[in-house]
Amino acid sequence: MKSKEKYMQKTLVVWFGALICCALWGSAFPCIKIGYELFGISSGDTASQILFAGCRFTLAGILAILLGSILSRKPLIPRKESWGKICRLSMLQTVLQYLFFYVGLAHTSGVKASIIGGVNVFIAILVASLLFRQEKLTGQKVLGCVIGFAGVVLINLTKDGIDMSMSFTGEGFIFLSTIAYAFSSVFLKRYSEHENPVVLSGYQFVLGGVIMSICGALAGGSVRGFSPASVGILIYLALISAVAYSLWGILLQYNPVSKVAVFGFMNPVFGVILSAILLGEAQQAAGFKSVISLVLVCIGIYIVNYVRKEKQ
């Protein structure tokens, strides 16, 4: 057990694992937009957006449980006392986070969603440090977060600047999504000390996905237009959640929240790059600005991780 703990705390392992998660999550930005188009879901059809998210996460949970069971060579079944933790995680990590995210993304631009989403790193570290006392908040961590966030803002700058207009159902919902994410990361860190993070992720996705599907259906939502392309994008979105959150939970199990959460600054960077490839938004991702942005994010991540390594 100690050898596994030391291995999962290695800098190279943390960086590689966290970057895989961020690349998967970054690809969700354009793929959700593509999914809306393939399934004929308009920006104002909130009920169908929630139903679509519910289908995605129910499938994600099933895939996570199946893959985890295969790798463990035994069925992953939660203990009786684990269900309370699964329910709390489900409400934060799936229902609240993605209900706000899906609806908010439909009512704001991808640029502003990326920038506001980048705030989740600050919130996660503040919650872990100040509310739950899981680690100390240091000046170096704050500096690393500020530099990383500057890279997120820079890559999302356009020639016209950033539209500062705000709406509660758009930018407001994206911000509420980041708060839910921050608390879910801290709870996942706490619960993973005594629970299998794959079990937690898989079952909370199934529970949250079913709740969102029921809410979306009762509100009049519908998901139609099934085709090989639309089914493929739905399966890919499910795999993003199944793989990324299970791996993220394992990293949080063996490392401080700040050491892992700071990689969240890479999500919008990957989002912009992959949006350029998948949605044809090449102008924003090209040029010297993107290189500088990536450098700033990497410097921010390095500072936060270096401080932790120095303390150890």
Say how far apart CA 160 and CA 190 lie, in whole Å: 43
What is the per-residue pLDDT for 107? Answer: 78
The domain ranges of the chain are 2-311
What's the pLDDT score for residue 271?
74
| Exposure of 265 in the CB half-sphere (CA atoms within 13 A) | 32
Phi then psi dihedrals of residue 161, to 5 deg: 85, -155
Residues 6+ apart with CB under 8 A from 246: 64, 67, 68, 197, 198, 201, 202
Beta strand ranges found along 130-243 (DSSP E): none
pLDDT the model gives residue 308: 45
- Tens of each residue's pLDDT in the chain, 312 residues: 567 777 788 878 888 898 899 888 888 878 888 898 899 888 778 889 889 999 999 999 999 999 889 888 889 899 888 999 999 999 998 899 878 887 787 777 666 676 677 777 777 888 878 777 777 777 877 887 788 778 777 766 666 655 556 678 787 888 898 889 888 888 888 888 888 888 998 999 999 999 999 999 998 988 888 899 999 999 999 999 889 888 888 888 888 888 888 887 787 777 777 777 776 655 555 556 667 777 777 787 777 766 444 444
What is the 3-state secondary structure of 54-88? HHHHHHHHHHHHHHHHHHHCCCCCCCHHHHHHHHH
pTM strictly above 0.75 = yes
